[in-house]
């Protein structure tokens, strides 16, 4: 059963119960008021007749006591009462059943209705010797009016319930139509149609806020799904590059191993070259595996014990080594004391990767400018005058899953994970590494790390 139908049926039920209750109360109140008027008249007649020496004679002779339709009976020894007054109604219709002494005593205390062919309201006056004067007034018109009013009010209650239920049903359908659209929207999203649109058009503020919240939640899910899809695509590319990096040295090792395993004499020079190449490619695979293990550790665990590290000292050491490796390269170093709380070995690895990247992927005469400053954070910047990267390559580098060794130069002997490790090490220390174009024309790498608490 739908919510609108449930609300409509509940409303009809409430209106019906309320209307019927009002109808019954109205009909019974009207009957009670009419009976009270009859009782007042009967009590007045009884009071006047009781004050007389002969109540029966007073009833028969004093016309002031007799109202139109008033009846009087004489009850003796629990026999059928004898009518004393002539009425317009056939006496058989007004004939009373025998009344007991107890019943007559009750009528003396309070007027009451006696059922018969036609209902009569009676009161009684004791005359002695087990004789009673019974005075009454027919109430058949009151009973008929009560029944008519009860029927009319009940019909009106039913009509009001139907009309009220219809109006509520129409209003409920209109009010709940945004909820039906939300259900359809949720079903569409559940079936995978994340491009579905839900407009917050409900006239009710709470429902409109719910529509907005659901639309925002689905939009977040959509972005998460897109990010997941992009991450999966990038991971596939990453794994393909790793497979390529492993396949190349493995192919070389297998080829030279086949040479060494061939039957027959092997030239000593060929043997020496084969052994050197196998050792070289084995070291290359070891570096690749070490890089992958380090990446896995950085993404799955937090830093252990940290120490106070002077980044300026590491910068000076590693870029001084770069100047030794490339004597023709102009390296400008500008640093100040830059203290961070970090892992000494990881930070050493980060700066080693940076200098290795410059050494391998830029011409040996390309200038390098290195700066390290400390303020609210430690900022390290290296600018090179190498070939640089285009915008697409910079975007892919920022994602950290694309191999860039082959794009920086023709050198195919790097693992392709150097800059990715730089970003991961920076993130593990609560910092960030960004990549952009350098004013020298090449690549600018900026690393921002939190300053050590004791260095502020």
> Which of these, 249, 245, 288, 244, lies nearest to 257 by C-alpha position?
249
Inter-axis angle of helices 268-300 and 418-428, nearest 10: 30
Residue range 273-327, pLDDT digits in tens = 888 888 878 887 887 777 777 777 766 666 667 788 888 888 888 888 888 888 8
In this prediction, residue 33 carries a pLDDT of: 92
What is the overall mean pLDDT for the chain? 79
Residue range 130-149, pLDDT digits in tens = 888 888 888 888 888 888 88
Distance CA 335, CA 312 (A): 6
Q: Say which CATH class 197-301 falls into.
A: mainly alpha
pLDDT band at 420 (very low <50, low <70, confident <90, very high): confident
Mean pLDDT of 148-160: 87
Token duo for residue 396? 């892919």
Task: Characterize the bridge pairing of strands 368-374 and 331-335.
Answer: parallel
CATH number of 304-455: 3.30.565.10
Say if CB 15 and CB 164 are below 8 A apart: yes
Task: For residue 382, give Cα distances in angstroms to 18, 369, 371, 373, 404.
Answer: 84, 6, 7, 12, 18
The CA-to-CA distance between both ends of the chain, in Å, stands at 68
Query: Is the pLDDT reported for residue 67 higher than 80?
Result: no
* For the chain, percent of residues with pLDDT exceeding 70: 86
Say if CB 318 and CB 356 are below 8 A apart: no
pTM of the model: 0.47
Query: Is the pLDDT reported for residue 413 higher than 60?
Result: no
Residues of the chain with CATH 3.30.450: 3-144
Task: For residue 416, give Cα distances in angstroms to 114, 409, 447.
Answer: 112, 12, 19
> What angle is formed at CA 106 by the lines to CA 105 and CA 111, rounded to 5 degrees?
120
Query: Is the pLDDT reported for residue 371 higher than 50?
Result: yes
> Which of these, 434, 425, 414, lies nearest to 311 by C-alpha position?
425
> Which of these, 119, 144, 124, lies nearest to 72 by C-alpha position?
124
In this prediction, residue 397 carries a pLDDT of: 66
Say if CB 377 and CB 360 are below 8 A apart: no
The alpha carbons of the chain give a radius of gyration, in whole angstroms, of 54
pLDDT band at 410 (very low <50, low <70, confident <90, very high): very low
Give the lowest-confidence range in 50-54, 64-68, 202-206: 64-68
Mean pLDDT of 177-199: 79
Say if CB 405 and CB 417 are below 8 A apart: no
Number of H helices, E strands in the chain: 12, 12
Residue 69's CB is within 10 A of a number of other CB atoms, namely 17
Report phi then psi at 304, rounded to 5. Answer: -85, -135
Mean pLDDT of 151-155: 87
Strand partners, 73: 83, 134
Inter-axis angle of helices 344-361 and 418-428, nearest 10: 150
> Which of these, 348, 284, 263, lies nearest to 310 by C-alpha position?
348
Task: For residue 15, give Cα distances in angstroms to 29, 156, 159, 316.
Answer: 21, 11, 10, 88
Give the lowest-confidence range in 109-113, 168-172, 184-188, 414-418: 414-418
Residues of the chain with CATH 1.10.287.130: 197-301
**Is the CATH number of domain 3-144 2.150.10?**
no
Residue range 211-262, pLDDT digits in tens = 788 888 888 888 888 878 877 776 776 777 677 777 777 888 888 888 888 7
Mean pLDDT of 351-378: 85
* For the chain, percent of residues with pLDDT exceeding 90: 1
Residue 354's CB is within 10 A of a number of other CB atoms, namely 26
Residue range 2-40, pLDDT digits in tens = 767 777 788 888 888 888 888 889 889 998 999 998 888
Report phi then psi at 135, rounded to 5. Answer: -115, 135
Residues of the chain with CATH 3.30.565.10: 304-455
């Amino acid at each position: 059963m739908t919510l609108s139908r449930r609300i409509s049926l509940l409303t009809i039920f409430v209106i019906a119960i309320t209307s019927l209750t009002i109808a019954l109360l109205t009909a019974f109140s009207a009957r009670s008021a009419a009976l009270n008027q009859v009782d007042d008249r009967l009590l007045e007649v009884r009071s006047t007749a009781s004050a007389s020496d002969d109540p029966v004679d007073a009833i028969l002779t004093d016309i002031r006591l007799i109202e139109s339709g008033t009846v009087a009976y004489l009850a003796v020894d629990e026999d059928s009462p004898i009518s004393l007054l002539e009425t317009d109604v056939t006496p058989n219709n007004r004939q009373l059943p025998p009344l007991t002494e107890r019943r007559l005593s009750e009528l003396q205390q309070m007027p009451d209705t006696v059922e018969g062919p036609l209902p009569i309201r009676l009161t009684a006056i004791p005359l002695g010797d087990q004789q009673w004067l019974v005075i009454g007034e027919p109430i058949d018109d009151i009973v008929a009016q009560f029944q008519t009013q009860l029927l009319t009010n009940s019909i009106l209650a039913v009509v009001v319930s139907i009309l009220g239920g219809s109006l509520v049903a129409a209003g409920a359908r209109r009010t709940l139509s945004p909820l039906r659209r939300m259900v359809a929207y949720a079903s569409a999203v559940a079936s995978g149609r994340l491009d579905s649109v839900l407009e917050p058009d409900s006239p009710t503020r709470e429902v409109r806020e719910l529509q907005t919240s659901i639309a925002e939640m689905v939009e977040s899910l959509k972005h998460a799904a897109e990010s997941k899809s992009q991450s999966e695509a990038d991971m596939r590319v990453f794994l393909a590059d790793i497979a390529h990096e492993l396949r190349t040295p493995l192919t070389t090792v297998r080829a030279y191993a086949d040479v060494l395993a061939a039957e027959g004499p092997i030239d000593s020079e060929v043997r020496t070259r084969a052994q050197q190449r196998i050792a070289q490619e084995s070291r290359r695979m070891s570096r690749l595996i070490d890089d992958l293990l380090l990446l896995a550790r950085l993404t799955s665990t937090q830093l252990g014990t940290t120490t106070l590290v002077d980044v300026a000292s590491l910068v000076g050491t590693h870029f001084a080594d770069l100047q030794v490796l490339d004597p023709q390269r102009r390296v400008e170093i500008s640093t100040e004391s830059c203290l961070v709380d970090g892992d000494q070995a990881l930070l050493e690895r980060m700066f080693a990767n940076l200098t290795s990247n410059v050494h391998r992927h830029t011409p040996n005469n390309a200038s390098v400018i290195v700066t390290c400053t400390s303020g609210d954070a430690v900022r390290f910047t290296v600018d090179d005058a190498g070939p640089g990267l285009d915008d697409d390559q910079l975007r892919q580098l920022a994602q950290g899953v694309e191999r860039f060794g082959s794009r920086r130069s023709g050198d195919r002997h790097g693992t392709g994970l150097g800059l990715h490790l730089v970003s991961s090490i920076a993130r593990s220390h609560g910092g960030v590494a960004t990549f952009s174009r350098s004013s020298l024309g090449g690549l600018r790498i900026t690393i921002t790390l939190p300053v050590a608490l004791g260095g502020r």
